[in-house]
Structure 1
Amino acid sequence: MQIYLPIAEISINAFLLLGIGGVVGMLSGMFGVGGGFLITPLLFFIGIPPAVAVATGVNQVVASSVSGVLAHLRRKTVDLRMGTVLLVGGIFGSALGIWVFSQMRSLGQIDLFVQLSYVVFLGAIGFLMLQEALRALLRTRRADAPPRRLHQHLWVHKLPLKMKFRTSGLYISVIPPVLVGISVGFLAAIMGVGGGFIMVPAMIYLLGMPTKVVVGTSLFQIIFVAAFTTVMHASNTYSVDILLALFLIIGGVIGAQIGTTLGLRLKAEQLRILLALLVLLVSGKIALDLLLTPAELYSISIDGRW
């Protein structure tokens, strides 16, 4: 069943979109990630223009994060004060990212810019994740291995403008959380991701937050930053395709239920290794597409539209 996507300006099979949403939802449920860094490259691969894929992919992040936050609020595992500080930085970073996105689009380089961003960030993150997962797997096989300390007093704990975060049990400067928020907001605007794959490690290893409150706090911030990014893209770059987002969300909701069940059957270290390999695979595919000669050497653009 072919449907016409008005913003992307292409016809595509509706079941293919449902399948992509379902696969990403399954992976999200299995690995515990928002899936934005997976769904956007997959949209590249089926012919969706990168600018539309980025702006529309954020909708998937909003939808999946809302249900997650509600569950964490019931368990009281959301640090609202920390989430608000991260949100302040995230809004600023998102606005900056939208401006850069608009500039690159006006120069006609947005497709290349987005794809290069994915190659660099996904390649680096995937390598670090794989390295950490392999180390964790080796530690679990060594009974005499000393337990690893996650919370250490580093230079970030000596910065000024300190604030007490009771839910996290921290008394630290607001500067590192704001910088983390800015980075995630910028990536949300440029790459169409929630940024959880960067924020969660930063909150654990850099800020020293307890793992039990990290996920809920991260999702709380992601909801508002992703929603803000979607509105900004819709009003400034006109790249949000609502019909595309609808099919992806429907597929994602169904896939997440399957992924959650599958995820319970694998160990945490195995899941992290599989996720790292998946991230590296996606990064490699985008890099390969950039290096190979495209089927169509030229494209027509009118006022930044395809």
Structure 2
Amino acid sequence: MTIYLPIAELPVAIFTVFAMGLAVGFISGMFGVGGGFLMTPLLIFTGVPPAVAVASVSPYMAASSFSGALSYWRKDMVDLPLAAVLLTGGLAGTVAGVALFLWLRMIGQVDLAIRISYTLLLGTIGSLMLVESVRAIARTRRGERPVVRRPGTRAWFMRLPLKLRFRRSRIYVSALPVVGIGFVIGLLGAVLGVGGGFILVPALIYLLRVPTQTSVGTSLVLTLVTMVAATVLHAEANGTVDVVLAFVLMVGGTMGAQFGARTGQTLKAEHLRLLLGLLVLSVAVRVAADLVSQPPDTYAVTVIEAAP
């Protein structure tokens, strides 16, 4: 059974799209990521234009993140004050990202920018997470005790002013780096169609020393709010949100996120980071291969409207 996507302007198999939403929703709930870093490339690989894929994934990520965040909320694994400070920068970053996305569309470079950014970003993050998690697992098997580092005792940005205490996360840090992290996540979400969880979760764990499970739950809350804002802004400024595509993805994603969140809460922290690192790195390799491979149609025709 096929359906026609009015904004993407192509027919797709509805059950295939639903299965994609279900699978990525499971990953979203398990790892505490919005799933956009995986869903956006998958849609591009199936023929959806990158600009439409980025914008249409935003409501899907909002729905799947809501489902996952609700599960973590019930387990008391969400730091709401920390999420509120992150959102201060996240919403500002979302507005800036939509403006940048609009400018890239105007100069005709949005597709290339999305592909190159995905390759560099995912490749770097995936490699770092993979190396760190393998070292942690090796230390555990050797019976070595993990190195305990007090939050913010040596990092220079932790000594900045405006310090706040987040009791659920058991940290006492400056609000400035927290707002900065939120801004970067919001910017990436609007430009690349990613929830930013694959960056936010490692940042909370390794930079701010937030417990892994609390990082996942708090990340889902930030993803939910920023993706709702990105959806509204993309629909208003760019008109690239395909409602039909987003709805099918949302149904599958909401169902999958519930099962993923339950699975993620039963895994060890180092194993959770290893799986996420492998997943991020594999997507980066696939996007890079698609970027350098020769397209089936060597030539393209673009219609440019003449100025009145």
1:103 partnered with 2:138: no
Q: Is the 8 A contact 1:156 1:206 kept in 2?
A: no
Q: Distance in 2 between matches of 1:163 and 1:273?
A: 31
Look up the match of 1:202: 203
Q: Distance in 2 between matches of 1:249 and 1:190?
A: 20
Cα distance change on mapping 1:240 and 1:116 into 2, 3 Å: same
Q: Higher mean Cα deviation, 49-58 or 202-211? A: 202-211
Q: Distance in 2 between matches of 1:251 and 1:70?
A: 17
Question: 5+ unaligned residues in a row in structure 1: which ranges?
Answer: none
Look up the match of 1:222: 223
Cα distance change on mapping 1:227 and 1:257 into 2, 3 Å: closer
1:181-232 C-alpha deviation (Å, 9 max, x unpaired): 0100011011111111111121222223344432222222221111111111
Q: What secondary structure sits across from 1:96 in the alignment? A: helix
Map 1:100-139 onto structure 2 (within 5 A): 100-139=100-139
Q: Distance in 2 between matches of 1:21 and 1:168?
A: 31
Cα distance change on mapping 1:78 and 1:270 into 2, 3 Å: closer
Look up the match of 2:300: 299
TM-score, structure 2 as length reference:
0.90
Residue identity matched to 1:60? Y
Q: Higher mean Cα deviation, 250-259 or 48-57? A: 250-259
Cα distance change on mapping 1:181 and 1:258 into 2, 3 Å: closer
Residue 133 of structure 1: CA displacement? Answer: 1.4
Residue identity matched to 2:68? G
Question: 5+ unaligned residues in a row in structure 2: which ranges?
Answer: none
Residue identity matched to 2:116? L
Q: Distance in 1 between matches of 2:260 and 2:68?
A: 14
Residue identity matched to 2:195? G
Look up the match of 2:194: 193
Residue identity matched to 1:57? V
Cα distance change on mapping 1:100 and 1:122 into 2, 3 Å: same
Look up the match of 1:21: 21
Q: Distance in 2 between matches of 1:118 and 1:187?
A: 10
Residue 4 of structure 1: CA displacement? Answer: 0.7
Cα distance change on mapping 1:176 and 1:205 into 2, 3 Å: same
Residue identity matched to 2:137? L
Look up the match of 2:237: 236
**Backbone CA RMSD of aligned residues:** 2.3
Cα distance change on mapping 1:189 and 1:260 into 2, 3 Å: closer
Q: Higher mean Cα deviation, 102-111 or 251-260? A: 251-260
1:89-111 C-alpha deviation (Å, 9 max, x unpaired): 01111111111111111111110
1:163-183 C-alpha deviation (Å, 9 max, x unpaired): 333433433221101100010
1:61-80 C-alpha deviation (Å, 9 max, x unpaired): 11112123333334443332
Residue identity matched to 1:40? T
Q: Distance in 1 between matches of 2:31 and 2:80?
A: 24
Residue identity matched to 2:93? G
Q: What secondary structure sits across from 1:12 in the alignment? A: strand
TM-score, structure 1 as length reference:
0.90
Q: Indicate the percent of aligned positions where both proteins have the same amino acid.
A: 49
Residue identity matched to 1:297? T
Q: Is the 8 A contact 1:156 1:207 kept in 2?
A: no
